[in-house]
Amino acid sequence: MSDDIKRLKEEEKDIWVEVDDVKGNTAVSRSTCMSPCVGKQSWLGGLALISVGVLLFFSVTTDFYLHNWWALFILIPAFGSLGNAWQNYRADGRFSKNVRGPFIGGLFILLVAAIFLFDWDWGKVWPLFLVIAGIGALLSSKSD
């Protein structure tokens, strides 16, 4: 059985994955792609935890208080999505469809987090979702 695992690991190293590069298509091995691609967003979780810790520290030591502090954790996927949009923008060099999707998704999640954090009334804030959807429609109408 261990021979099968070793054989599979060797086969996995030989698999080639097509990766779009800014200058064109280049082929890199999966092992080459996996390590740099995985670590690029690892700072995001650390930054989110530091932010939550600082805000909770301020709420304990000062008069600052967040009613729905748990909503800070909704910011993690929002920042992740916006970070993906930024990475795609830097890779493509323009605001393409690879940027629009994560950007609009991140804005939606960010708005939901803000509604919970600041205890806004959903009945008054719902038009902002239409505004974000309209921004997405305008950005989609641009030709790629």
Residues 34 and 85 in one domain: no
Residues 83 and 53 in one domain: yes
Q: How far apart are CA 44 and CA 96, in angstroms?
A: 23
Residues 111 and 135 in one domain: yes
Residues 56 and 97 in one domain: yes
Neighbours of 86 (CB within 10 A): 14
End-to-end CA distance of the chain: 50
Q: What's the structural domain count of the chain?
A: 2
Query: What is the tens place of the pLDDT at every residue in 5-49?
Result: 777 666 666 654 444 444 455 544 444 444 444 455 667 677 778
Residues 54 and 13 in one domain: no
Q: How far apart are CA 118 and CA 112, in angstroms?
A: 10
Residues 130 and 59 in one domain: yes
Q: Could you list the residue range(s) of the whole structural domain that residue 8 is in?
A: 1-39
Residues 33 and 75 in one domain: no
Q: How far apart are CA 134 and CA 127, in angstroms?
A: 11
Residues 18 and 63 in one domain: no
CA-nearest of 85, 81, 125 to 106 is 81
Whether the pTM exceeds 0.85: the reply is no
Neighbours of 106 (CB within 10 A): 22
Q: How far apart are CA 83 and CA 102, in angstroms?
A: 8
Residues 3 and 68 in one domain: no
Query: What is the tens place of the pLDDT at every residue in 47-103?
Result: 778 877 888 888 888 887 777 878 888 888 898 899 899 999 999 888 888 899 999
Residues 70 and 15 in one domain: no
Task: Tokens 């009945």: give the residue.
Answer: 123
Residues 123 and 67 in one domain: yes
Residues 33 and 56 in one domain: no
